[in-house]
Structure 1
Amino acid sequence: MATLELEAASNQLRNNDVEQQIDQEIKVNYSQRAQWLRAAVLGATDGLVSTASLIMGVGAVRQDVKSMIVTGFAGMVAGACSMAIGEFVSVYSQYDIEVSEIKRQNKASVDDEKESLDESDKEDLPNPFKAAGASALSFVVGALVPLLSASFIKDYKVRLGVVIALSSLALLVFGGIGAVLGKSPLKRSSLRVLVGGWLAMGITYGLTKLIGLAGL
């Protein structure tokens, strides 16, 4: 009887350990997914604010739609490339550090790091190529909002108004998504992103206008 009770207790402990391990893996996977989503939202916000500010800056001295679109497109491509390269370098550095730590823990003796890591280790490592692609894609998604909103409107003042209006709406949406992922106050986070975007567009427009008036 005592043996059966010991076996039952042992099985219960094993089941509890398995359940705790599964719960921990779920939490880790959710945390990693949330981090990726939040990084994507931040990248999209960066693309939107940067491109909208460029369009507003050019619009301060040039009223033709072609100049605004070409500048916005160049800013989108340059920003996406910059984001991708920066994220690739950053994540690759993190990858090297984690690989070195795993090899120290496993006391690996082979030189080829791929041969010294098992499949579970590889799955947990960050992927620099995926990170670079996600950063570039999110930047482009955000940049397309002001770029497309300025593409089909001929009237100069209406064009600027539409860019500001649609960019503001998108900033509120991105700020709200970021607040949900970061579990922060929705209204405060959205307004913070919106005001930051307005400041960036306003400062860029104002300084470029001053340069234009100075004849530089």
Structure 2
Amino acid sequence: MAATTQSSSEPKPSAVFPLKDIEKQQPLELESQAVDYTARAQWLRAAVLGANDGLLSTASLMMGVGAVKTDVKTMVLTGIAGMVAGACSMAIGEFVSAAAASALAFGVGAAVPLLGAAFVKEYKVRLGVIVAVVSLALLGFGALAAILGKAHPVKSSLRVLFGGWIAMAVTFGLTKLVGSTGL
């Protein structure tokens, strides 16, 4: 048998792999430009604000009704009605922009006080649970909003927390006052 030798002038077989690395296909100009994540995350901002709205309005509504009606069923039904009404209102009100994200987020935020209250039979404990779970959620939403807005997370969280406490206290107090006067 004769040995065959390949001459250096013959082309060597090579495999061709399609380039699927999208980063290599993009222009390298992106490295020199600053990426504005705040502008890119408008839907996330709408979701955080929607969740905060759902959390506060539903908790305040439940606290207000809880000032005059102490049973679980009434508080939970009030919370569900507030959640549905608020989500529909946000979806209709912001139909053109980020409505789906904010309406869904409203429902998620509204579910926090509902889940906190639904399984607690004792009236005063139920009110405490609502305040506790809503306070934790307010701190989280405040921190997330601050991070997205490139603000100080502690200051923002505390501002949102105190605002939420005021909203719940005013709603509870006014409803208690109106309910006790028989109006």
* Structure 1 residue aligned with 2:3: none
* Structure 1 residue aligned with 2:135: 168
Identical-pair percentage: 68
* Structure 2 residue aligned with 1:3: none
**Does the 8 Å CA contact 2:59/2:110 hold for their aligned counterparts?**
yes
Amino acid corresponding to residue 84 of structure 2 in structure 1: V
Q: TM-score, normalised by structure 1?
A: 0.69
1:18-45, Cα deviation, whole Å (9 max, x unpaired):
4336866x836x3443222111111100
* Structure 2 residue aligned with 1:20: 29
Q: Matches of 2:70 and 2:104 in 1, distance apart?
A: 29
The answer on 1:177 being equivalent to 2:144 is yes
* Structure 2 residue aligned with 1:85: 92
1:11-90 paired onto structure 2 within 5 Å: 18-20=27-29, 27=35, 30-88=37-95
The answer on 1:210 being equivalent to 2:177 is yes
Amino acid corresponding to residue 171 of structure 1 in structure 2: L
Q: Matches of 1:132 and 1:66 in 2, distance apart?
A: 30
Q: Which runs of 4+ in 1 moved over 6 A?
A: none
**Does the 8 Å CA contact 2:38/2:148 hold for their aligned counterparts?**
no
**Does the 8 Å CA contact 2:49/2:102 hold for their aligned counterparts?**
no
Q: Matches of 1:33 and 1:40 in 2, distance apart?
A: 13
Q: TM-score, normalised by structure 2?
A: 0.81
Q: Matches of 2:173 and 2:109 in 1, distance apart?
A: 23
Tell me by how many angstroms 1:132 deviates.
Answer: 1.8
Equivalent residue in structure 2 for 1:148, among 115, 121, 131: 115
Q: Matches of 1:214 and 1:41 in 2, distance apart?
A: 38
* Structure 2 residue aligned with 1:190: 157
Q: Matches of 1:173 and 1:135 in 2, distance apart?
A: 17
Q: Matches of 2:103 and 2:42 in 1, distance apart?
A: 16
Runs (5+) with no aligned partner, structure 1: 1-17, 92-127
For the pair shown, the structure with the greater C-alpha radius of gyration is 2
1:118-138, Cα deviation, whole Å (9 max, x unpaired):
xxxxxxxxxx4xx22111100
Between Structure 1 and Structure 2, which shows a larger proportion of helix residues? Answer: 1
Q: Highest relative contact order (Cα 8 Å, sep 6+), 1 or 2?
A: 1
In the comparison of the two structures, how many residue pairs are matched? Answer: 157
Q: Matches of 1:42 and 1:32 in 2, distance apart?
A: 15
